[in-house]
């Protein structure tokens, strides 16, 4: 079982999916927690867990290329012998879209198949789950 210490995510064991809904400013610490799920997936030993991140309540971005690159290097080291997973990101605007695309470009060779979209139906299809699984279990508080 995964217990998110930030109250932003829930693990749905029946479909092996972490659903995360962070809020507020997206800085390096929050992106690290979102991307690596260090407090959830790592501690639970579930590196093979697909992830869905609803970023529609992110209010600002405070990180640059170097920080995203550092996060990707750390995740690459962590995932060295792991099987590929899917990480889907629902974004509300072009700025977040571009930020996650930067992460995507840097991490995909490390076994993380990143998908970013403004369309939840598209991401649900990629994950092979009903859209309701992505919206009904979101947690309302953030870090």
Contacts of 61 (CB under 8 A, 6+ apart): 25, 26, 95, 96, 99
| pTM of the shown model | 0.83
At the fourth CATH level, which superfamily is domain 9-130?
A: STAS domain (3.30.750.24)
Q: Which of 102, 105, 108, 133 is nearest to 120 (CA)?
A: 133
> How confident is the prediction along the chain (143 residues), in pLDDT tens digits per residue?
566 656 677 778 788 888 888 888 888 888 777 766 656 666 666 667 788 999 999 999 998 899 888 888 887 777 676 778 899 999 999 999 999 999 899 888 887 889 999 999 999 999 999 998 898 544 433 33
Residues in CB range of 117: below 8 A, 6 or more apart: 88, 89, 90, 91, 123
């Amino acid at each position: 079982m995964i217990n998110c210490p930030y109250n932003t995510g829930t693990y749905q064991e029946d479909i092996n999916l972490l659903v995360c809904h962070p809020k507020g400013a997206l800085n390096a610490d929050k992106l690290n927690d979102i991307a690596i799920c260090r407090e959830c997936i790592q501690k639970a030993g579930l590196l093979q867990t697909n992830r869905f991140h609803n970023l529609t309540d992110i209010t600002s971005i405070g990180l640059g290329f170097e920080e995203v690159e550092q996060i990707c290097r750390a995740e690459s080291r962590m995932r060295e012998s792991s099987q590929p997973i899917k990480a889907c990101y629902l974004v509300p605007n072009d700025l977040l879209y571009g930020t996650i695309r930067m992460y995507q470009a840097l991490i995909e060779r490390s076994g993380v198949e990143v998908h970013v979209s403004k369309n939840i139906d598209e991401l649900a299809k990629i994950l092979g789950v009903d859209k309701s699984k992505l919206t009904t279990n979101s947690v309302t508080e953030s870090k």
